[in-house]
Amino acid sequence: MRKFDGFKSRIDMLCVARNMLLVEMVAILVSTSLAVGVELLLYPLFLGSGVLRGRLKGTLSQPMVRMTLVWAGMLLLAVLYSVTPSVTLYSLGGWRKLLLLPMAAAVFDDEIWKRRLIWTLLLTVTLGVALSYFSWFSGVAIRKFPPGIAIANHATQGMMFAVSLFVMAILARYTKTIPAGLGWFLGSAGLTTIINLIYITPGRSGYLALLVLAVVAVFFLTPNRVRFVAVLATTLLVGALLFFSPVASQRIIQGVSEITNYQKSAELTSMGVRRHMWNNTLKMIGKRPLLGLGTGGFSEGYRQQVAGLTGWQGQPVDDCHNQYLRIVAEQGLVGLLVFLGLLWSFFLQPVGMPYRVIGLGVLLAWCATSMFSAHFSTFLEGRFVYLWCGALLARVDGTSSPV
């Protein structure tokens, strides 16, 4: 036992934790199994190290960590009255991704490591862009994905490409964060990424994320006197790029058509079924608006709501593809207020630029795309946003107020 303690004392546990979270960032994008495996190693690492436990305790002074605990408490409370006790623990286990936030906040309190996380993402996504081009032009599928898709699915890939472009734009403004000799990388990688996102990757979530992140970047980086004009011009520019892209315009027009004509459709469509699910979810909410059906209760509540309907309209679902409606359905209006408090707490984090805008920009993009999905609770997007915001918005030593 003494030999083990001596060996452990010679290891820099803080450095190990930081590098494992960098690996987790890559794993999230390339392999769900690897991501879960890394997480299962992170838990005992933090619990078994006095240094890391102390750092976790220290994060309790940070608003986003405190509100993460409050939100976790709401999820636990909603377990007690769930209409489906048999699946409640499974549903609750899906929220373990929240643990990535305090772990990241505990160890990414150093600007050097924040930059390493940023560049880890950029290099990983740029590799994904290269693989996407290879797959698209060669017709060779990558891990059984459709041609042109190299990261999870078309929606997720589009979002990651948009995040990468956003980060590159911010770093171009804050040149001190760019390692010597890598300035050329931002320009070439940015150009190839935006061409891919606009003309190859058919993800509507990616288009929405691109629009939000472009507006956020311009809003934060332009002087007050021209901010309104710059934001308007940016919105029009992104809209024009999407409009003149055959791939993007077709996907957007298709989505609008599906969501407006869903009642006339004889077949299930991606956006049409969302409109149908939202209507049914609102009816469910009307029955138990204050506290909802309980954690994990959505699928049973929805099954009861569509009982008697035929065709695709009567198919049971586990998710209504709207994060906010899903929360109200399960945790009620009380839960929604707690969740909104969690989102607001990120803006209260005492961290300076450029990390503040890089973290908050991604958060705002996720808030927007979660109107059509549940990106704060899905496997990949959920893990990414909690790790990303936990690390980038973590308080840095010597920083006492937002910049």
Q: Quick one: pLDDT at residue 248?
A: 85
Q: What is the CA radius of gyration of the chain?
A: 22
Cβ neighbours, 10 Å, residue 95: 16
pLDDT of residue 5: 47
**229: exposed, middle or buried (Cβ count in 10 Å: 0-12, 13-18, 19+):** exposed
pTM to 2 decimals?
0.91
pLDDT of residue 276: 82
Rounded distance between C-alpha atoms, residue 332 and residue 325, angstroms? 9
Cis amide bond preceding 354, omega within 30 = yes
Joined tokens for residue 95: 């929220």
Residue for token pair 């006790």: 85
Q: What is the pLDDT of residue 7?
A: 46
Whether 126 and 164 have beta carbons less than 8 Å apart is answered as yes
Assess contact for 291 and 331: CB atoms under 8 A: yes
- Say which DSSP state 30 is in: H
DSSP sequence for 343-364: HHHHHT----TTHHHHHHHHHH
Rounded CA-CA distance 64/66 in Å is: 6
CA distance 300 to 95: 19
By the 8 A CB rule, do 403 and 357 touch? no
Q: Read off φ and ψ for residue 53, nearest 5 degrees.
A: -60, -40
Q: Provide the token pair at 2.
A: 């003494």
How far is Cα 346 from Cα 262, in angstroms, rounded to an integer? Answer: 37
Six token digits for residue 49:
């190290």
CA 52 distance to own-chain centroid: 25
| Alpha-carbon torsion (264, 265, 266, 271), positive or negative | negative
Which tokens is 21 given?
């979270």
Instruction: Please list the alpha-helical segments (H only) found in 200-305.
Output: 204-221, 224-243, 246-260, 270-287, 298-305
Q: Are 290 and 334 in contact (CB under 8 A)?
A: yes
Mark the ranges of the chain whose per-residue pLDDT is less than 70.
1-10, 180-181, 264-266, 398-403
Amino acid identity of residue 254, one-letter, is Q
> Exposed (0-12), middle (13-18) or buried (19+): which is 6, by Cβ within 10 Å?
exposed
Cα–Cα distance for residue pair 327/350, rounded to 1 Å = 28
* Cβ proximity of 402 and 352 under 8 Å: yes
Q: By CB neighbour count within 10 A (0-12 exposed, 13-18 middle, 19+ buried), where does 9 fall? A: exposed
Beta carbons within 8 Å of 16's beta carbon, 6+ residues apart: 45
What amino acid is encoded at 56 in this protein?
A: L
Cβ partners under 8 Å of residue 185, min gap 6: 122, 126
Using DSSP's 3-state secondary structure scheme, residue 211 falls into: helix
Report the pLDDT value the prediction gives residue 399, as an integer from 0 to 100.
Answer: 43
Q: Distances from the Cα of 26 to the Cαs of 99, 126, 129, 143, 307, in angstroms?
A: 17, 12, 14, 16, 42
Contacts of 171 (CB under 8 A, 6+ apart): 118, 177, 178, 186, 354
Residue 316: DSSP 8-state: -
